[in-house]
Amino acid sequence: MFYFVLFSERYGRETGYDTSHVNLELFKEIKRFWMYRSLLTPEAFITNLVGNVFAFSPFGFLLPVMTEKKRGLIKVVLGSFLFSLIIESCQYIFKVGVFDVDDLLLNTIGGLIGYIIYKISVTIYRRK
């Protein structure tokens, strides 16, 4: 995860910016990507919107699996948010990418989806 958001040349991370870039307006980038989706490549649209959600789904699934105390919904959502905040802060500090509150939201939703999949999997496992 850190490689893709901080170092991946594919996403323009090889040199960084001269200054840090920040978006603190919630839904600004989500609306922009949705409005101009016909002008974007499918890869750009999927990477920026869907990719942020699905990149964090494994985190939401694995956090309760890997801990002795099974983490509840609030702890998984908070953990997803904090992990995303660390990544976004690193982008700001190292001047790569953009510190974006929309990414915080999408990543946290991804963690929530992963947790829901975990709970469904546990329920199915227990029934069988």
Give the distance, in angstroms, between the CA of residue 5 and the centroid of all CA atoms in the same chain.
10
Distance between CA atoms of residues 86 and 6, nearest Å = 12
SS3 state of residue 100: strand
**Banded pLDDT at 7 (limits 50, 70, 90):** low
Q: What is the pLDDT of residues 68-119, one digit of tens each?
A: 777 789 999 999 999 999 999 998 998 887 899 999 999 999 999 999 999 9
Q: Which of 4, 109, 105 is nearest to 60 (CA)?
A: 109
pLDDT at 121: 96
Distance between CA atoms of residues 86 and 96, nearest Å = 13
Yes or no: say if 58 and 118 are a contact pair by the CB < 8 Å rule: no
Residue 17 has pLDDT above 80, yes or no: no
Cβ count within 10 A of residue 99: 19
pLDDT at 11: 56
State the pTM of this model. 0.85
Distance between CA atoms of residues 26 and 59, nearest Å = 23
